Structure 1
Amino acid sequence: MSMLRMNSDSTPLTFVKGVGPEKARVLEAEGLGSVRDLYEYFPRRYLDRSRLKSIGSLAEGELVTVVGTVSRAEKERSSSGKALFRVWLSDGTGNLVLTWFRGAVYFSKMVRPGDLLAVHGKVGFFCGHAQMQHPDFDRLQDASAESGAKGVSDADLFHTGGIIPLYPVTDAMKKAGLDSRRLRAIILRAMESHPAFIDEHLPDSIIASHGLLEINLAYRQIHCPVSSEMLERAVHRFKWNELFYAQLFFALRYHAQKKNNAAVRFERSGDKTALLYSLLPFSMTDAQKQAVREIYRDLRSGSQMNRLLQGDVGSGKTLVAMFSMALAVDNGLQAAIMAPTEILAFQHWLGIRKYCEPLGLRVGLLTGSQKKKERDVILSGLEDGSYDLAVGTHAMIEERVRFKRLGLIIIDEQHRFGVLQRKALQDKSVNPHVLLMTATPIPRTLCMGAFGDLDVTLIDELPGGRKAIVTRLCHENSKPRVLELIRKEVAAGRQAYIVYPLVDESEKIDLKAATDSYLQLQKDLLPELRIGLVHGRMKPAEKELIMDRFRQGDVDVLVGTTVIEVGVDVPNATVMVIEHAERFGLAQLHQLRGRVGRGPEQSYCYLLYSRLGGDAAERLRAMEASTDGFRLSEIDARIRGTGNVLGKEQSGMVSGFSMADLNRDSEILDVARDAAFRLVDDDPQLRNPLHRGIRNYYTTHYHEKFSLADIG
């Protein structure tokens, strides 16, 4: 990511002492083809003697790094006859047993008695002995190392209290003799023989005001730290770089949108919006009113609105959307709302029609399962303007769908649509105002990282009169008691859901589980109740028939897979039972729980599990402890990782950054974001000569990288 003089960007690795053609070929296959690539190959962690744990002080369940000498190494056979490899490590305070059940032959060639190893893993105890299974390890010195060898070894650094960088290495690199220790030596030689002379891309004013380490020194300290303090400053500089340039991308795009994307100005609030407010049978929350005010301000600005409306399940986002749509009609325009599933689209259509038809508005529904005759009527009405509002699924992006005067687009559960799908709907008009909605609460820092160029409105208040949902974590053996609660709730005139997880795309496993449960409930467990079944393999018309019967109260218990996750609004339902809850993600569990508690009665959510451990235990205990979607989203982000906020991945530990972590680096993000937006406010085109370095660095290293974030 640096601009290196003297051709260091492209200097082949064979120019570095110790890298012959074969090693160079292996390194190039791993993306390390030049001296510059070595500079950018940051350590995965560091071995700091002051922060290590002794074997004698280890505790059950700790994730630790220890250093010791191999006293014994043996291949053995397990009780099933499979080969395993076992190593005894000692540091003078005790012994740690390392076991590999896979790759026994490979690891037996890698580790020998006398090796000095740094091992990293989770501690367990068996018969009083500390152990690790399949630990990560780095060799600091091998048994054959000659005393008096030239240079400073990792072992020397360890014994003198130095900080040792540990680099990620692949199996191919290890087979070529390139373990972390040898890779470190190569990087040190590259830095000595090809000094970087890196052009500092940040101006002195930014470096001074934010106390940043100069870039040459930062590279040196990231690979050869002289102290913990200097290492922390180097890491801070690279994290700041990544977050600053990510936010610079958003700042540049935000400024360009406001300047160049002129949109129709909504001049007035008229009869439709006033009448809608007067017809509401309840009071809006303060958060809803504030959301409407912020959206109205955007729509009246003359610049294209690009706003994200996020709120917890049941917070009333659809009502806010309805006021936005009514304002569009007051200004002679049409509005459209797109939802990811037919069930959700139909739910929106019912709710919007209920409130908007009394205003004299015509609301059309477009889905893929509609009959041609019905569909043709809607298409004609949208094109000639006789339909004011459209609600639908991705069927709305088809070429045949044309609007007369589309001015506002609302995309619900926007993360479930692809970038191109969202763009296709926006292309139905010229610079329409865009409102994105999500019921999946996003932590503030992740929201800034993923939607840095959008204006964000948060509805953080639930409608009054609702009671907190009682959530209970239960072993599946407790199911009879849960079914008894369902009986009592139904006897009191209420309804319930029983949901099964969706594990694979074919749904065969889950469909069988849901169908078998449905039949068993009908025949044996709840024969006196009216049971309905809904799943993803049913035809849309069949699903909607069951859902409508449930809404009308003709079905007491709805059994299904996760097709009911979002959008189902039946205030009379008070019990949610989630089978095999350990197989659900935290966000999905929270969404499912949000299907109950939508009326004035006390509601319950039962999380049934068969086995509990690891991340699943943390997820389910968090669900039991909290109903705050934003708090749960923070826990979920920590468990699952942030996802690639600047690319295609939506989950996993890849965030699009090599150093920064949006979960942990919120303070750096705040400062870097402020610096980026201030810079663009002062110099929107980065034409100031003082900003030439930033402009060149951004263009070279970040502009293309962020291209996948082009549409919010």
Structure 2
Amino acid sequence: MLDVDIQFLKGVGLARAEKLHRLGIYTIKDLLDYFPLKYEDRRSVKNIIDVEDGKKCLLKVQLFEQPKNTRVRKNMNIIKAVVKDDTGFAALTFFNQDFLMDRLVLDKWYYVFGVIKQSFGKLELISPEIEFCEKDWKAGKITPVYGLTYGLTNNELTKLTRLALELYYDKIEDVVPDEIREQHNLIHRKSAIKNLHFPENGRKYNQAKRSMAFEKLLIMQLGLLSIKSSLRSSFSGNVINNTEISDKLMEKIPYELTAAQKKVIDEIKEDLKKQKPMNRLVQGDVGSGKTVVAIYAILSAVGSGYQSSMMAPTEILALQHYDTIMEYLKMADLNINVAFLSGSTKAKEKKKILEDLKNGEIQIIVGTHALIEKGVEFKNIGLVVTDEQHRFGVRQRAMISNKGNNPDILVMTATPIPRTLALMIYGDLDISIIDEMPPGRQKVITTVLKQSDKQKAYDFIRAQVAEGRQSYIVAPLVEESETMELDSAVEIFNTLKDSHFSDLKLGLLHGKMNSKDKEKIINEFYEGKINVLVSTTVIEVGVNVPNAVVMLVLNAERFGLAQLHQLRGRVGRGKYQSYCILVNENKSKKSADRMNILKKTDNGFLVAEEDLKIRGPGDFFGTRQHGLSKYEIQNIINDVEVVREVQDLSKNILAENPGLNGKSFENLKKEIINLFKDESIIFN
């Protein structure tokens, strides 16, 4: 009923449909499920005398005089108008909107909505929204603000959504069975959708948000738990029980594993021995020693006669793992054939690797997503390790699993996620946590500076370089953007090279560089040929330089706490005291509170818990993490209790009705199958 092609909605047509497709909107259902990013409160009309500088407001005004239309240059016209109410005057400025000249009529009343700018005692609104009072359909309401694409305005999307709701409201069916809906105080789906787009009031909006979050999370959790259940019951895996060479490595490494590492190795060993495929997530903070745990599992597979693969999201991280594996093998004097494969591997070399992999000569292969491409075939893959799981979804894991006889899967992440949320996001995996740091790992001193104090950070870096140390400077963008005043890596590099650090050796690293250039810069930094590395977050994972002691992050307010914690983990890896300096340009209390969390603790899980209290769990459910891009859950959930509630409910439902049989579960089952449509194991 709601699967009608979006182009047939009145006012859409082919051209506009293509724009909607860029937002993932193909049907009426997609449009109704495309919820606003935020809302604007237009319920109260302000008097001009009461407006505040820099704040958005709704005014009800008349034109004071005839507006002027001036051609400033080719392709640029400016309309200037002065408006009034009973309390004062304000100026309106519009760019390239000539059509307004016919609409701006003396003595008529208008609603004007926009940001007030105050300078030299005068008030101005630049490019505000303006409507005749008698025609306006936004004033007096809470209005939605949607994520947009080029050529599609918020007004257009709002009108289309309103029309779709009018035409199809009665065709919206509940997904959650009535009994569950009533039991958990949820409202009907049609009411939830309506109040998420056009909230009647705060109470109804909160009910709608909770109900829709509950529904989306229930779909996701039931799907993931069903995958886990299917994997356990439907497939037999490989028995990996020869730990001889793994144990040999443990005897040779020059340090004692922590109790947490040993516990996780024991959990992995138990999984590997079973006929059922392992699906385990190892969560551990930066520097907690996840890699050696993974290598133990890899060598166990090799010792049992199987091939192993290790996949990482970036070439930098994959190369790091390759080097680490080679180092450990050398340490234990083990003669094992290891290969590296990425998108930049030369054709001739790649051909040889693929042949050796297929005939079983390569025992361990390390690489990027190139490992899941067509043409990559194994003789007998027994174990698949993926690092930084939040970059790989359920589907990518399934793609590499399909290359063998249900190989065991081990997933590693250094992204700290509170356990409750981890169980939700990784519902198809068993979870192990390395919650202990190796002895001797030093605490990184974290400082927060204002933008005006940035010079102090540069001076401090100079002093550290004079002592023979190295530093990172991280900027959020690669190139300058006209729309956001953020420090750019290229711009910062050029500025510092010609000023503060003109006598030092600077390096530049960003995601747009080719792999060869990236590798060259990282190697030069590792070898000490570069004093200061200016970079984007491409160094968030996989760069290990013990001599680097300062991590300076510009525009730190733009990063998530988990990401800042990851960046901080790039320093403090050697014997020297290390420092993380965060430049916070946001003056809000919320931003200051977030930065202070990082000052107070270096425990990634505590950082995540605190972040959860401030922002709610939304950001943990980004599409990068669960790989289910259809659902932008972060925009509709803010209550961790909902997550816990859904978790318990999902387990109970599947315990009683694993096939979700019966009419009441029909729609819910359909939604799950649709979301996990690439996963044929659901409800077989």
Q: Which residue of 2 aligns with 1:84?
A: 79
Report the 3-state secondary structure (helix = DSSP H, G, I; strand = E; otherwise coil) of the residue aligned with 2:287.
coil
Change (3 A) 1:645 1:568: closer
Change (3 A) 1:498 1:167: closer
Match for 2:111 among 107, 114, 117?
117
Give, in whole Å, the separation in 1 of the partners of 2:350 and 2:53.
Answer: 64
CA contact (8 A) 1:85 1:105 kept: no
**Per-residue deviation, residues 29-75 of structure 1 (Å, max 9, x unmatched):** 9989999999879888888898887766654555x554635465863
Task: Map 1:203-222 to 2 at 5 A.
Answer: 203-214=177-188
Task: Map 1:326-337 to 2 at 5 A.
Answer: 326-337=299-310
Q: Which residue of 1 aligns with 2:673?
A: 703
Q: Which residue of 2 aligns with 1:349?
A: 322
Match for 2:385 among 403, 410, 435?
410
Give, in whole Å, the separation in 2 of the partners of 1:254 and 1:138.
Answer: 54
CA contact (8 A) 1:116 1:139 kept: yes
Which segments of 5 or more consecutive residues in structure 2 lack a partner in the other structure? 481-487
Give, in whole Å, the separation in 1 of the partners of 2:11 and 2:641.
Answer: 44
Give, in whole Å, the separation in 1 of the partners of 2:524 and 2:166.
Answer: 74
Give, in whole Å, the separation in 2 of the partners of 1:593 and 1:441.
Answer: 13
Match for 2:60 among 65, 68, 71?
68
Q: Which residue of 2 aligns with 1:694?
A: 665
Amino acid at match of 1:432: P
1:484 aligned to 2:462? Answer: yes
User: Is 359-368 or 623-632 further displaced after alignment?
Assistant: 623-632
Amino acid at match of 2:665: I
Q: Which residue of 1 aligns with 2:296?
A: 323
Give, in whole Å, the separation in 1 of the partners of 2:314 and 2:623.
Answer: 25
Report the 3-state secondary structure (helix = DSSP H, G, I; strand = E; otherwise coil) of the residue aligned with 2:98.
helix
Cα offset for 1:597? Answer: 0.9
What is the TM-score with the length of structure 2 in the denominator?
A: 0.72
Q: Which residue of 2 aligns with 1:245?
A: 219
Cα offset for 1:288? Answer: 3.4
CA contact (8 A) 1:449 1:645 kept: no
Report the 3-state secondary structure (helix = DSSP H, G, I; strand = E; otherwise coil) of the residue aligned with 1:68.
strand
Cα offset for 1:569? Answer: 1.5
Amino acid at match of 1:213: I
Give, in whole Å, the separation in 1 of the partners of 2:517 and 2:27.
Answer: 60
CA contact (8 A) 1:497 1:577 kept: yes
CA contact (8 A) 1:471 1:624 kept: no
CA contact (8 A) 2:196 2:208 kept: yes
CA contact (8 A) 2:51 2:57 kept: no
Give, in whole Å, the separation in 2 of the partners of 1:477 and 1:214.
Answer: 56
Report the 3-state secondary structure (helix = DSSP H, G, I; strand = E; otherwise coil) of the residue aligned with 2:650.
helix
CA contact (8 A) 1:469 1:597 kept: no
Task: Map 1:168-317 to 2 at 5 A.
Answer: 196=170, 200-214=174-188, 229-230=203-204, 232-267=206-241, 270-317=243-290
Change (3 A) 1:418 1:202: closer
Q: Which residue of 2 aligns with 1:668?
A: 642
User: Is 618-627 or 358-367 further displaced after alignment?
Assistant: 618-627
Percent of aligned pairs sharing the same letter: 31
Change (3 A) 1:141 1:374: closer
Cα offset for 1:338? Answer: 2.2
Amino acid at match of 1:484: R
Report the 3-state secondary structure (helix = DSSP H, G, I; strand = E; otherwise coil) of the residue aligned with 1:391.
strand
CA contact (8 A) 2:618 2:638 kept: no
Q: Which residue of 2 aligns with 1:622?
A: 595
**Per-residue deviation, residues 434-460 of structure 1 (Å, max 9, x unmatched):** 223333445778756654433444445
Match for 1:467 among 443, 450, 454?
443
1:599 aligned to 2:592? Answer: no
Report the 3-state secondary structure (helix = DSSP H, G, I; strand = E; otherwise coil) of the residue aligned with 2:60.
strand
Task: Map 1:10-25 to 2 at 5 A.
Answer: none
**Per-residue deviation, residues 358-379 of structure 1 (Å, max 9, x unmatched):** 1635251324567899888876
Report the 3-state secondary structure (helix = DSSP H, G, I; strand = E; otherwise coil) of the residue aligned with 1:567.
coil
CA contact (8 A) 2:17 2:26 kept: yes
Give, in whole Å, the separation in 1 of the partners of 2:7 and 2:508.
Answer: 64
Report the 3-state secondary structure (helix = DSSP H, G, I; strand = E; otherwise coil) of the residue aligned with 1:602.
coil
CA contact (8 A) 2:421 2:643 kept: no
Match for 2:545 among 560, 570, 576?
570
Change (3 A) 1:401 1:318: same
Change (3 A) 1:165 1:636: closer
Change (3 A) 1:710 1:544: farther
Cα offset for 1:172? Answer: 10
Task: Map 1:391-470 to 2 at 5 A.
Answer: 391-394=366-369, 396-397=371-372, 402-416=377-391, 425-441=400-416, 451-465=426-440, 466-470=442-446
CA contact (8 A) 2:470 2:531 kept: yes
Amino acid at match of 1:206: I
Give, in whole Å, the separation in 1 of the partners of 2:499 and 2:35.
Answer: 57
Cα offset for 1:547? Answer: 4.8
Give, in whole Å, the separation in 1 of the partners of 2:42 and 2:545.
Answer: 59
Give, in whole Å, the separation in 1 of the partners of 2:288 and 2:223.
Answer: 32
CA contact (8 A) 2:390 2:626 kept: no
Give, in whole Å, the separation in 2 of the partners of 1:290 and 1:133.
Answer: 62
**Per-residue deviation, residues 60-95 of structure 1 (Å, max 9, x unmatched):** 555x554635465863468967413546475x7x55
Give, in whole Å, the separation in 1 of the partners of 2:616 and 2:41.
Answer: 28
Give, in whole Å, the separation in 2 of the partners of 1:436 and 1:307.
Answer: 6
Amino acid at match of 1:84: I
Give, in whole Å, the separation in 2 of the partners of 1:11 and 1:487.
Answer: 59
Give, in whole Å, the separation in 2 of the partners of 1:201 and 1:349.
Answer: 47
Change (3 A) 1:118 1:412: same
CA contact (8 A) 2:71 2:78 kept: no
Change (3 A) 1:469 1:240: same
Give, in whole Å, the separation in 1 of the partners of 2:637 and 2:45.
Answer: 25
1:105 aligned to 2:107? Answer: no
Which segments of 5 or more consecutive residues in structure 1 lack a partner in the other structure? 4-8, 15-20, 144-152
Give, in whole Å, the separation in 2 of the partners of 1:122 and 1:708.
Answer: 46
Cα offset for 1:432? Answer: 0.9
Task: Map 1:18-33 to 2 at 5 A.
Answer: none
Report the 3-state secondary structure (helix = DSSP H, G, I; strand = E; otherwise coil) of the residue aligned with 1:525.
coil
Cα offset for 1:260? Answer: 1.9
Give, in whole Å, the separation in 2 of the partners of 1:441 and 1:353.
Answer: 28
CA contact (8 A) 1:470 1:604 kept: yes
Q: Which residue of 1 aligns with 2:484?
A: none
Report the 3-state secondary structure (helix = DSSP H, G, I; strand = E; otherwise coil) of the residue aligned with 1:346.
helix
Cα offset for 1:408? Answer: 0.7
Cα offset for 1:501? Answer: 6.9
Give, in whole Å, the separation in 1 of the partners of 2:201 and 2:369.
Answer: 56
Cα offset for 1:384? Answer: 5.9
Give, in whole Å, the separation in 2 of the partners of 1:34 and 1:203.
Answer: 24
**Per-residue deviation, residues 113-164 of structure 1 (Å, max 9, x unmatched):** 5546373x55543345665544457766349xxxxxxxxx988xx5xxxx77
Report the 3-state secondary structure (helix = DSSP H, G, I; strand = E; otherwise coil) of the residue aligned with 1:676.
helix
Cα offset for 1:644? Answer: 3.8
Give, in whole Å, the separation in 2 of the partners of 1:683 and 1:376.
Answer: 49
Cα offset for 1:431? Answer: 0.9
Q: Which residue of 2 aligns with 1:141?
A: 134
Give, in whole Å, the separation in 2 of the partners of 1:102 and 1:503.
Answer: 30
Give, in whole Å, the separation in 2 of the partners of 1:602 and 1:277.
Answer: 29
Change (3 A) 1:638 1:372: closer
CA contact (8 A) 1:502 1:510 kept: yes
Report the 3-state secondary structure (helix = DSSP H, G, I; strand = E; otherwise coil) of the residue aligned with 2:222.
helix
Task: Map 1:37-76 to 2 at 5 A.
Answer: 58-62=51-55, 66=58, 68-70=60-62, 72=64, 75-76=67-68
